[in-house]
């Protein structure tokens, strides 16, 4: 039995497989971060600062996965991840749509986080042809976006199209090791939108929500 078929959606994939391994790597993890809800709650409590109250941002979409090193000093390095899990529905159609996630990941660049990721997971029932074409198209789009605007470089990764319990867990473990290694070597390209005015306000909102100092 392959492990991805055990997950009903992205949230379950993240909570049962990705999040535990991040925690093992000494990261704090938050799932389904709803900035708009946090903003509305603070507004109802009359607890927003003036700059938070006047922020010109829809505070959408949600962040599927937010993580940072547990032992940070100074400013925490915030990673925002958009996760998509592609599988076949009862009619044999691939769901969600293959273009899903790209726009959301781009908007994450405006949240004041340090790094933005787009992670794609494919169920083994998705054909190799669809997997390869999606992989090629998204890689091209991500590279083109960065060529046009050097402010945001998403890290795009995807699992192999043939996965089982062992290989999926190994993939995620290897992925995290690669990310850690790239961070140590300063090879990941940081999100330059992080320093925009509204992005700085949103970053403060995130930090205040999770008591990051």
Positions in the chain whose pLDDT score sits under 50: 1-4, 162-163, 165
Domains in the chain, number: 1
Q: Please write down the HEC assignment for all residues of 99-141.
A: CCCHHHHHHHHHHCCCEEEEEEEECCCCCHHHHHHHHHHHHHH
Mutual angle of helices 197-209 and 35-44, in 10-degree steps: 80
At residue 179, the pLDDT reads: 62
Task: Assign 58 to helix, strand or coil.
Answer: coil
Residue 6 is predicted with a pLDDT of 56
| Residue 121 to residues 124, 138, 151, Cα–Cα distance (Å) | 10, 13, 26
Instruction: State which residues form the domain around 150.
Output: 3-209
**What local confidence, expressed as pLDDT, does residue 118 receive?**
87
pLDDT score recorded for residue 78: 94
Instruction: Judge whether 58 and 40 are in contact, CB under 8 Å.
Output: no
| Per-residue pLDDT at 142 | 78
> What pLDDT sits at residue 4?
41
* Res 184: pLDDT: 57
pTM recorded for the entire structure: 0.83
């Amino acid at each position: 039995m392959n492990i991805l078929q055990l997950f009903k959606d992205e949230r379950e994939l993240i909570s049962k497989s990705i999040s535990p391994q991040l925690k093992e790597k000494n990261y704090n993890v938050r799932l389904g971060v709803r900035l708009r809800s946090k903003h509305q709650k603070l507004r109802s409590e009359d607890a927003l600062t003036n700059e938070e109250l006047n922020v010109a941002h829809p505070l959408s979409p949600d962040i599927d996965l937010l993580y940072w090193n547990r032992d940070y000093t100074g400013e925490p390095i915030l990673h925002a991840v958009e996760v998509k899990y592609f599988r076949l529905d009862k009619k044999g159609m691939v769901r969600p749509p293959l273009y899903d996630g790209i726009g959301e990941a781009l908007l994450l660049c405006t949240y004041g986080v340090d790094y933005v990721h787009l992670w794609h997971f494919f169920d083994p029932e998705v054909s190799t042809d669809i997997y390869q074409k999606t992989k090629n198209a998204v890689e091209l789009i991500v590279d083109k976006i960065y060529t046009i605007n050097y402010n945001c470089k998403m890290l795009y990764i995807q699992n192999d199209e043939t996965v089982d319990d062992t290989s999926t867990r190994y993939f995620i473990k290897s992925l995290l090791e690669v990310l850690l290694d790239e961070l140590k070597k300063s090879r990941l390209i940081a999100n330059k939108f992080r320093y925009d005015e509204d992005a700085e306000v949103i970053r403060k909102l995130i930090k205040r929500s999770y008591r990051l100092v």
